[in-house]
DNA sequence: TAACAGCGTGCGTTATAACGCACAAACACT
DNA sequence: AGTGTTTGTGCGTTATAACGCACGCTGTTA
């Protein structure tokens, strides 16, 4: 828990690369000048809270996440998937939404390929803890927390919790 | 999810006051100059990530916590209404969605006026039982069940269950 | 090869974050 | 009263974050 504007720099660069943005494109999306972005990524300057906010909103992530320094071991185990899926609400053409309740056993994991462009998911963990890998980034959400992400890219759910994890998945198509 | 270095300022001042520190004492603990601390608290300057780190370590809190954008659950107590509202995900202009976790005490009820046309809500009851009155129709959903309705009309949540009811509310605007 | 576009970095300038110091107000003990 | 102490804020200076622009580099197309 120290000098981790290093991690901010890395995370920022990774986010940018994941989206396939150049520094110029990134500058347009975030409102931070291209030169500044380069300096921040190279750790030549310590960004202001104001610019951190610009970055977070521009990348559509929470500020806390941008600064969060948990290193994320990407270890997949291809054990037997033990997953229960219950459809709570069927797909409705008007709202373009469907809702699932999932229950994953300890160590279970599930992978989804990219949905069509514009689709996003909202997850809410009811009990346990869930790791979500979407693109190059990984997030952990605990019971009572929620997470939303762009589902137009491959994503995985992994239960590394010591017990079962129950969560809600709300999928919005476009 | 915008300009909330305001919250940082408040949180910082509260932290300092809670510990009973003066600006000078705070400066000694954090390594940030007294004048700067005052300016940050009065929102006259936007602190650098480096100084944010000094502050976090000085106060012995995590950086994420220092600028946590999640607002703490606010509790209403109008007459007999005892309702806790926790915003899990702030409104996101891209997905046009926000997510709340609500906890209603026995007998509590809450009313919402019509949202703008096209808005719909999805409710998921985690524990207890919830009655929803939307327009002329009334529905009861129990724990583990979900319900979706058009929110472009007045609607009410009522907890007639003999105990508290926890549920998730996912609001999609148009 | 030449011309061109897009990429990231370096440079000079401006805006401002951060500092040290001094000051006035509020409170304490003579 | 007077004296010392501690509170927070204002001022002048320095350090640096942020900007706009231009340059060299690389990949593509004519």
Residues 6 or more apart whose CB falls under 8 angstroms from that of B146 comprise A88, A89, A99, A101, B122, B123, B124, B125
Task: Report the distance separating Cα A95 and Cα B173, nearest Å.
Answer: 10
Q: Please name each of the domains of chain A with its CATH number.
A: 5-67 (1.10.260.40), 83-172 (2.60.120.10)
Beta pairing class for B129-134 and B109-112: unpaired
In contact, B126 and B166? CB cutoff 8 Å? yes
Task: Give B115-170 pLDDT, tens digit per residue.
Answer: 766 678 899 999 999 998 887 678 889 999 999 988 877 788 888 888 899 999 99
Residue in this structure with the two tokens 């310590």, named with its chain if needed: A46
Mean pLDDT rounded to a whole number for chain B: 80
* Residues 28-87 (A) near nucleic chain D, CB < 7 A: 31-36, 39-40, 44-48, 50-51
> CA A36 – C1' D7 distance (Å)?
39
- Quick: pLDDT tens for A45-92: 999 999 998 998 888 777 877 876 433 322 233 333 477 777 788 776
The answer to whether B35 CB is within 7 Å of strand D is yes
Distance between CA atoms of B102 and A148, rounded to whole angstroms? 18
The pLDDT-based confidence of B4 (bands split at 50, 70, 90) is: low
The residue that leads in pLDDT, A48 or B93, is: A48
B94 exposure class (CB count in 10 Å sphere: 0-12, 13-18, 19+): exposed
Provide the ipTM.
0.54
Write out the two tokens for A57.
């909103």
Lowest mean pLDDT among A104-113, A141-150, B32-41, B137-146: A104-113
For residue B45, CA distances in Å to A31, A49, A50, B40, B118 come to 19, 9, 9, 5, 41
Tokens describing residue A76: 């997949």
Cβ count near B75 (within 10 Å)? 12
Chain B residues touching residue A53 (CB < 8 angstroms): 2-5
CB pairs under 8 A between A and B: 106
């Amino acid at each position: 828990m120290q000098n981790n504007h290093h991690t901010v720099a890395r995370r920022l660069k990774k986010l940018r690369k994941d989206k396939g943005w150049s520094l110029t494109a990134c500058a347009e999306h975030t409102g931070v000048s291209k030169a500044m972005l380069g300096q921040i990524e190279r750790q030549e300057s310590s960004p202001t809270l104001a610019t951190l906010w610009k970055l977070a909103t521009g990348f559509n992530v929470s500020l806390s996440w941008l600064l969060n320094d948990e290193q994320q071991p990407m270890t997949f185990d291809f054990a037997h998937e033990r997953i229960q899926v219950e459809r709570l609400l069927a797909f409705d053409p008007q709202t373009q939404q469907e809702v699932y309740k999932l229950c994953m056993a300890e160590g279970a994991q599930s992978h989804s390929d990219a949905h069509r462009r514009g689709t996003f998911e909202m997850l809410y963990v009811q009990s346990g803890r869930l790791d979500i890998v979407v693109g190059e980034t990984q997030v952990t959400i605990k019971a009572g927390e929620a997470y939303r992400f762009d589902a137009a890219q491959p994503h995985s759910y992994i239960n590394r919790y010591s017990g079962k994890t129950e969560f809600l998945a709300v999928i919005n198509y476009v």
